[in-house]
Structure 1
Amino acid sequence: MQMLNSATSRYFKARMGQYLYTGDVQYFLAHEVRNYYPNPYGEKFNPAKLAVSDSFTGRVACDGNYNLVLDGEFGEDFSQIAYWRYNIPVFEGQCIDMYLEYEKTGDVEIKLRLFQFYYGSIGDIKQVWEFDEEQLQDVFRIDNESDQGPVFVSILARGTGSLNIISLHDRHSRRGHGFFLPGGERLVSSKGEEVFVYFEKGDMKPPLAVYFSGYRTQEGFEGYYMMRGFGCPFILVTDPRSEGGAFYLGDSEFEQMITDYVTDKLDELGLTKDELVLSGASMGPSVRSTMAQSFHHMHCFLQSHLPTWEM
């Protein structure tokens, strides 16, 4: 492998590049390039889009638009207990990352079953996926290598107790190369609450700028081109919970995940807490003030060059 000169090495490090050997080029072009598409997309199906099966005779309750609670007997065998009214469009060659937010009590067990129909058909099934609780603890993936077709999602349950269905998330997948953006990372608490972060080293000089996305019903980061235009290292943060986000607030574990991530990147860059700028729009400023308390004596010394936007 040819050694890089100092200028190229610094640029390679700043762009977080990876070596691609000559023999890997054709494989990369044939199988990996498709994962570096523009215009990332993600959405959530909230409980208002759920329909409860007629066979369920227990209690049904909603906490606003946040969740749907089913409480009672679900039977001894798995059966469909609820389903989403709207299908998910999946195109040829497209991969979808999915995540189900839910809680349960008693001895309730669930599965998620997905049917893909042939495009233009209302009943001809193309393929079926089924995911058990172990698989539902993390992001699960459906990969559609052949013709496009809509996907119908239903929840199967058995046992006795309560099932709290919060949200079903679906996001265009990069097949392990990052969430939303190449290199985007997913942080998740022990309660299953998510927050997504993206880090770019820029010129590796201070400050480290952190931008918190505002209210978004479409999941994903915002402010990428704006932050990249400043040239300095930056972090994007987005909260996919609730409707449009939950203001980055949660229990101590959830909030500490974000603080720890920022601290790790400061250490990686060799910067101090005085060389940190926090900014955001809409619901972003709420977390800015909360996080500032975690970084004692923080001095946003480039405020005039990297202002804070509030709405």
Structure 2
Amino acid sequence: MRVLQLGSIDWSKKYELTKNLEWHFNDFPPIEKVDEKDPKKKKIEIKNYDVILITGPTNLTKKNWADLKGLVPPYQVLYLPKVLEIADNEESYFLKSIAAQEITEDPQYLINKLEERYFVGQTGMRVAAVNFKLNDRQVHSFEYLGHGELKLNLDTNNEWINLGVYKTGIYIDPGKRINFWLTMKNKNFQVRMRIFIQNPGSDGDVKDQVVIDLTKFQKDEYFSQLEVLEYYRNATISLEVKGSGELTIGTLHARWGRDGAGDFISGGKRIVDPATREDIAYYFNPGDLKPPLNVYFSGAREREGFEGYFLMKRLNAPMLLFTDMRLAVGGFYDDAEGYFGKKIIEVIKQTLKKLGFDPSQLVMTGISMGTYPAIKYGAKL
């Protein structure tokens, strides 16, 4: 991971770096080097950065800031609060247009978290309700509502019971945090997830398990309690419940997490339906802060995540991406109650207001499944 620090005190001399960090201190713009093939020529080698830390005064020109913007993803420029007080107009514009984030943590803690938060790539998988194997000894009355939901009616006599286990295992990538997310309609039950961990080269140990009480989490909070390790693991997941009445289990999602730095990609956010825990993600890139705002809806995707990022980024204009992670390939950004349509329109209006644009400075696009919301919500806006 390439990290550029701009400031007066070199953090690499003051703090301990993790082993995969390539640290650059105040070496932007890069110095001209002699071309080995032709000594009479000089060349400048410019590479992208994964993270930029601005911790103090800089001497960069307007052109330097413009060049630097193309070398780092939005939301991956971090700055100390004092930087805003001393920043000139060019630096202030850079921080705003790259969606820079204020540093509020201890520097050593932040350094330790860089690789976990700002890695390249995104992914997520779904495990449908039809892949949940019910415990026949405990559940006798159930109904599948299509592919995505399992409706149960049961009474546990105020005791915890094993509801069943997912037939599909979860691969836990080395160095990655896995965020678990379960959609469900639940009013009367306590629900907990039991995760059995199998380490490489072993058949599994019953002691290697984590129990997560899903009812203790806020509506938009991930059930993520697995330690990030340098080697891969496999997980088998079962559900346990306590209560009586009706319970509907939906899709189980497993996604690469960024420890709060964003959903799927840095800066990504979610819209969560509190009634069903279904969610849709969105991402805003300020671009050049000039009209229009380009909104793009991802098409049907087997793997979860945003589509069209690089396509829209090349426009160098403000962009807003949406992706629908429900069902096998998504859910057309809509629902019977109209909850998601209302929230999507709210997000677009808030983004227009943030940029100082009006609805005429809006372009709505989508492909495949994404053409439906582009036309429907575009007409409303």
TM-score after normalising by structure 2: 0.72
Letter in 2 for 1:108: F
Between the two proteins, the alignment pairs up a number of residues equal to 293
Query: In structure 2, do the counterparts of structure 1 residues 27 and 160 end up closer, same or farther at CA, with 3 Å as the change threshold?
Result: closer
C-alpha contact (below 8 Å) 2:178/2:224 kept by paired residues = yes
CA contact (8 A) 2:212 2:223 kept: no
Following the alignment from structure 1 to structure 2, what is the Cα–Cα distance between the partners of residues 166 and 183?
27
* 1:61-114 C-alpha deviation (Å, 9 max, x unpaired): 212212112223334311211210122112343211111111136x43322211
Map residues 220-299 of structure 1 onto 2, 5 A cutoff.
220-250=305-335, 251-295=337-381
Which has the higher relative contact order, 1 or 2, with Cα contacts under 8 A spaced 6 or more apart?
A: 1
Question: In 1, Cα distance between the equivalents of 2:373 and 2:200?
Answer: 44
Report the CA distance shift for 1:29/1:108 in structure 2 as closer, same or farther (over 3 A). Answer: closer
After superposition, where does 1:1-311 map in structure 2 within 5 Å? 1-2=56-57, 3-19=86-102, 26-104=108-186, 107-125=188-206, 126-135=208-217, 137=219, 138-146=221-229, 147-191=231-275, 192-250=277-335, 251-295=337-381
Cα deviation code 1:231-260 (max 9, x no counterpart): 110000011112211101122332111101
Q: What amino acid is aligned across from residue 113 of structure 1 in structure 2?
A: R
CA-based RMSD of the aligned residues comes to: 2.1
Preserved CA contact (<8 Å) 2:122 2:256? yes
- Is this contact kept in 2: 1:100–1:136, CA < 8 A? no
Q: Which amino acid aligns with 1:44?
A: R
Q: Deviations over 1:8-64 (max 9, x none)?
A: 22122100113559x965543332233111111111110121101131242122122
Matched with 1:298 is none
The percent identity for this pair of structures is 28
Match of 2:5 in 1: none
**Structure 1: runs of 5+ lacking an equivalent:** 296-311
Mapped partners of 1:145, 1:15: distance in 2:
28
**1:261, CA displacement in angstroms?**
0.6
TM-score of the pair, normalised by structure 1: 0.87
What is the DSSP-based 3-state SS (H/G/I as helix, E as strand, rest coil) of the residue aligned with 2:317? coil
Please list every run of 5 or more consecutive structure 2 residues that lacks an aligned counterpart in the other structure: 1-55, 58-85
Letter of the structure 2 residue corresponding to residue 216 of structure 1: R
Quote the Cα distance in structure 1 between the aligned partners of 2:115 and 2:189.
42
Q: What code does the residue aligned with 2:123 have?
A: Y
